[in-house]
Structure 1
Amino acid sequence: MTTAVSLETEVWRALGTVLDPELDQPVTELDFVAGTEVDGDEVHVDLRLPTYFCAPNFAYLMVADAHDAVAELPGVRRVRVRLLDHFASEEINAGVAAGDGFDAAFPGLAAGELDELRRTFLRKAHLAYQEQVAQQLLREGTELADLVEVRLGGLQPSTALDRLRRRRDQLGLPSGPDALLLVDEHGDAVPVEGLSARLRFARTTRVSIEGNAGWCRGLLDTRYGSGGTAARSGLH
């Protein structure tokens, strides 16, 4: 029998799989979870964002993903996820609760559903983690010409490599030990010609993601005085 304490732990783990699409970090690590509450087989989750005017499509993705992640847990019958203190909270919360999709929640404003937006940011994250792993190899002495032959199975374990593999799995790209480190968005090998420019662009992408994450943490702390400590339980 699932206890409230164990279900609370599973809820938190599930929310840890929900990413801010632009920052490619879990909402739990970003302190976007304002609170959770387990009441029997019902789960309530409150989310918050750094500003009142965060992009509604990004916000909708996170609320919808949080709902779906928690709803898949064994023993959960009903899920309610609320976005707090956002200019479009009412529309987003109602749309996610009804399961109608972003277009229905914002008629006349949305240009298509959010799957392609999600893939766009997954591709950016994949590029950034490729660059992070590749730069470490270059610092250790790997030549640029040899870099294009490196395969994932020959790499030392690291957080960047774990995240790279997860993003490949989500994008349907090869992620096994024989897969090349450097592949394009279609899974094709990257040639050595133009590799330096590609890595510079990838580094710009990575620095932008990391910088935005730091900026958002600062805004969130200014707004809520969170001090970087997420609420594991108790709705605000």
Structure 2
Amino acid sequence: MKPILQSPEEAVSRIQSGSVLMAGGFGLVGIPENIIHALAESGVTDLTVISNNCGVDDWGLGRLLHRRQIKKMIGSYVGGNKEFERQMISGELDVELVPQGSLAEKIRAGGAGIPAFYTQAGTGTPIAEGKETRWFGDTEYVLEEAFTADVSIIKAWKADTMGNLVYRRTARNFNPGMAAAGTYTIAEVEEIVDAGQLDPDEIHTPGIYVQALLPGTFEKRIERRTTAAGR
């Protein structure tokens, strides 16, 4: 049985200033929004956050940016977050941009206990500066080190009381990898069922990677709404 937390505030009590934090999601899809927003009210600072992007200005990780709680952001793109762009250009925020495939593999490798791997992505660019490179055949590769985190906060669709998780469609994104790469992983979920009620073939993240569950309701904002003309 995994601990079932009673509130987002209880969840963020596990996150200390100076922590390395992984936050699941892609854009605003599959983000642990309740924990993030409670963290924005907690006063925790000097976070190193690993996430694909940093939300938008008024939602998700963007709220932490506005409160200057993030010291370093590691992700794939700035996205539609103007405050992220402003802090990066002004030098207020330490930013490490990583090719998206490399980011996914660095997280997966961290969860699998693999310390580093070679990839062709970024070779011959500023991404490779200061890193070891090696030739395999006639192709040069750069050595990338894996990512792990003190705490991973992720979002799932369903969980059972043993912590096994099921994600819904594209909301799976970075969440399974981050669940495995966190020393302590908290999963926000829409529904918790009894052990044995999930089909074993449908489980995406085994409960061994999850330390606590937080049931919640979610607004699920749309990052950028696009409609066809005349509709």
Give the TM-score normalised by the residue count of structure 1.
0.29
| Larger helix percent | 1
Structure with more of its chain in strand, by fraction: 2
Rg larger for? 1
